[in-house]
Amino acid sequence: MPEQGWHRTVRSADLMAGEIFAATAGKTVVLVARLNDGEAVAFSAGCPHQGTDLEGASVWDGKIRCPRHQYIYDPRTGANVFPTERFGPEKLWKLKPGYLPTYTVREGDGWIWVFEQVRPPPASYDPALEVPPEGVEEEAPVVEDDDGPVETVKVVKVRQGATFELRLPTNPLPGHVWHVEVEGDLLEIVEEGLVTENPPRWKVRITAHDPGEDAVECRFLAPWDTAPSELRRYVVQVVPHEAGPAS
């Protein structure tokens, strides 16, 4: 019988250097990785910055690199390495790297075992540094949406009166364009068009007028299509000014 709290996850022989596997430790989904020096580590399945699935992350220089914004975390302690070390504490309230929850690991009997209780935050983590300074308004999010299947649903949280952006990929399909509609009356599309970046993006700027919940539906299709080739739906939660910073 294994000791209480320890869970068998991945066979040691199956986890090669640089690989990341999803597993469960009790009722918690965790990711188990082997660093280039051979050490096995376990950490949260989601990036603390925006919840991006870290199963698509990479092992880089003994660290874990998120695929979306390239944030880098130390999987032994959970401490954020990038952007913290580049920009310093005075800008963390904008960057919000947080810390990566990690789990204790041991190898034995041919298996990698993970303890179900998450470790404490790293000593370097100070949540106060991720709160906007007094008198400074928090910026609304920019949703750079490159991932997901044909149909995706995401939640965006913004402050009342803020204007946020959706940036959608423009796939090379002849005649196809994004059709963006707001379902209710809490939101207003104030700007929309193609941005000639590399790669190009369809940018939509939306102002949140009143508190509550609304939705934005984005359909990628050609005039002759009866159904969109991609459908992306965003549930937008608008918080009033007195509710504090949006996240």
CA distance 88 to 196: 32
Average pLDDT over residues 79-88: 88
Q: Is the pLDDT of residue 1 over 70?
A: no
Residue-wise pLDDT for 204-229, tens only, equals: 999 898 889 999 999 888 777 778 88
pLDDT on residue 107: 95
**CA–CA–CA angle 183, 188, 189 (5° rounding):** 100
Structure tokens at 20: 């990341």
Which domains, from first to last, does the chain contain? 6-130 (2.102.10.10), 142-243 (2.60.40.2020)
Please report the sign of the dihedral spanned by the C-alpha atoms of residue 145, residue 146, residue 147, residue 152: positive
Residue-wise pLDDT for 160-203, tens only, equals: 888 899 988 886 666 778 889 999 989 999 888 888 767 778 89
Burial of 3 (0-12, 13-18, 19+ CB in 10 A): exposed
**Mean of the per-residue pLDDT values of the chain:** 85
pLDDT on residue 150: 46
Strand partners, 179: 219
CA distance 188 to 238: 12
Q: Is the pLDDT of residue 149 over 50?
A: no
Q: Is the pLDDT of residue 78 over 80?
A: yes
Q: Is the pLDDT of residue 12 over 70?
A: yes
Enter the pTM of the model.
Answer: 0.59
Q: Which residue has the tokens 């690991």?
A: 105
pLDDT on residue 29: 93
pLDDT on residue 142: 62
pLDDT on residue 118: 95
Q: Which residue has the tokens 């790669």?
A: 199
Of the ranges 44-58, 90-104, 137-151, which one carries the lowest mean pLDDT score? 137-151
Q: Which residue has the tokens 């739906």?
A: 233
Q: Is the pLDDT of residue 40 over 80?
A: yes
CA distance 191 to 206: 7
DSSP 223: T
pLDDT on residue 175: 76
Q: Is the pLDDT of residue 60 over 80?
A: yes
pLDDT on residue 132: 78
Average pLDDT over residues 40-54: 91
Confidence of residue 134 (pLDDT cuts 50, 70, 90): confident
pLDDT on residue 152: 58
Structure tokens at 19: 């690989």
